[in-house]
Amino acid sequence: MATVKINRRQLLKTAGAGTASLMLGSSPDFQVSGGETCRKPNLVFVFADQWRAEAAGYAGNQVVRTPNLDRLAGESFNFRTAVSGCPVCCPYRASLLTGQHPLTHGVFLNDAPLGNDAASIAQAYSEAGYDTGYIGKWHLDGIDRSAFIPPERRQGFQFWRAFGCTHDYNNSFHYGNENVKLSWEGYDAIAQTREANHYIREHAEGKPFCLFLSWGSPHAPYHTAPDKYRSLFRPEDIKLRANVPERDMPRAREALAGYYAHIAALDDCIGDLLDTLDETGTSSNTIFVFTSDHGDMLYSQGGQKKQQPWDESIRVPFLLRYPDIHGNRGQVINMPINTPDIMPTLLGLSGIRIPSSVEGCDYSRLISRELPETDNAVLISCPSPFGQWQRKRGGREYRGVRSARYTYVRDLQGPWLLYDNLADPEQLNNFCNNPVYAKLQGRLDVILAARLKDTHDSFRPGPEYIKRWGYAVDASGTIPYSN
């Protein structure tokens, strides 16, 4: 039986030193040890909504069509075990922007507003001399998803073409600096990508820039991609994962045909963005990230949507291309990376000081190969189940760890799930409380306890956290919202 080797304490101690060799400041240039002066890298951060890790050609999916992502993967660091630690929309976005865990920033439910207590990633880049921009879905301003979001609630982003939340992709809106609702033309992801391309061209010279592009698809509704993409996929041609129950197979094939159509459209958008970077001569000095806020069960394990502890929900694609560091060579990193780790890692790569409010780990030295990979088990959690994962539908609070190989999860009653994901990638065999795996389970339980201690998480029932933060929820456990 394989053992789990965890060296997170050493990694946390040394990873933050990744910027120690950089002369930090607000100048658009920074000095690398050895005296060579370089322009700080741009950042283009692109993320979709509900795109699970296996739904890409480079990940082995033979039905979905992602030629542009496949090319990108060949030029990028592919974090094969990237994890959405609290796999639902608002908690992910709040952790992405602050580098904090959900029970720290308080956004552990959808439609809870993100406060201004923590320094954001946009503020950190702005203070380092960058222009910052945000395009697309925001979903961090509270219960009115269609409301105008004033500058003081934009977490430091300067350029603004965003909207709270909508999944009406062909009738979608956004705001600029004024409280005037503006339409995206046609399928919104294509129009948003066009806006991002314009931003890149306008900022190709001068100050470095930090641009976030947030798409709403491939989140349901699944059958609203443009016709030319929907025509590519037929339900009868869809290959299902082995963990889809037979009773759900027809619905799963139908949903996946539409899901893959959205993905094909977004893949073309990725190609447009990469072409724009090439045309403007900014590719070599731009950190380009593609990822997603969480996955989608799509009837695997008999479940739908997100929040759940299985890989279809928690694992996301994460490609990071930075040619100036490692050239155009695809490299796979098996060590897990969690949502709060994204902000400090990007700041570390950019030579920007990491705010003290950040809880995640800076893995920039891992990318530059100054540190080795470790089997770093990351925390996954559902502090308070709601919506599709509400209690009457089988949802439950949980805490767990996902390492490069294993998934181990406890609910409020005790140990619940244990999978060997290398031997059983579709998580068909739960070995929890199996005497043969008792030693492994015990080691993983110790690691989970350490993660909970590190994040000051006492693992209480969801209503206690709701009361602590003063949220009002409905019968499904959701904060009621308006569109």
Peptide bond into 372 cis (omega under 30): no
Is residue 294 among the annotated active site residues?
no
Closest CA to 353 of 99, 168, 165: 99
218 vs 85: CA distance, rounded Å: 20
CA-closest candidate to residue 295, choices 283, 309, 285, 284: 309
Report yes or no: 401 and 378 within 8 Å, Cβ to Cβ.
Answer: yes
Task: Write down the catalytic residue from 89, 90, 269, 382.
Answer: 89
Is the distance from CB of 86 to CB of 383 less than 8 angstroms?
yes
Structure tokens at 172: 């979608």
CA distance 447 to 413: 18
Q: Which of 47, 253, 112, 232 is nearest to 102 (CA)?
A: 112
What would the DSSP string read from start to end of 53-75? Answer: TTSSGGGT-SSS--HHHHHHHTT
Q: Which residues does 238 contact at the CB level (< 8 Å), separation at least 6?
A: 63, 252, 253, 256, 257, 260
Whole-angstrom CA distances from 137 to 146, 168, 396, 471 are 11, 12, 28, 23
Kind and range of the H or E run holding 258: helix 249-279
Element (H, E) at 174: strand 173-174
Question: Which residue in the list 86, 90, 101, 139 is annotated as catalytic?
Answer: 139
Q: What are residue 440's phi and psi, to 5 degrees?
A: -60, -45
**Known catalytic membership, residue 38:** no
Tokens 């699970």 correspond to 52
Angle between helices 339-350 and 89-98 in degrees, nearest 10? 30
Residue with tokens 């439910």: 109
Letter string b/e over residues 383-401, b meaning 16 or more CB atoms within 10 A of that residue's CB? bbbbbbbbeeeebbbbbbb
Burial of 113 (0-12, 13-18, 19+ CB in 10 A): middle
Q: How many CB atoms within 10 Å of residue 28?
A: 13
The residues carrying an active-site annotation are: 89, 139
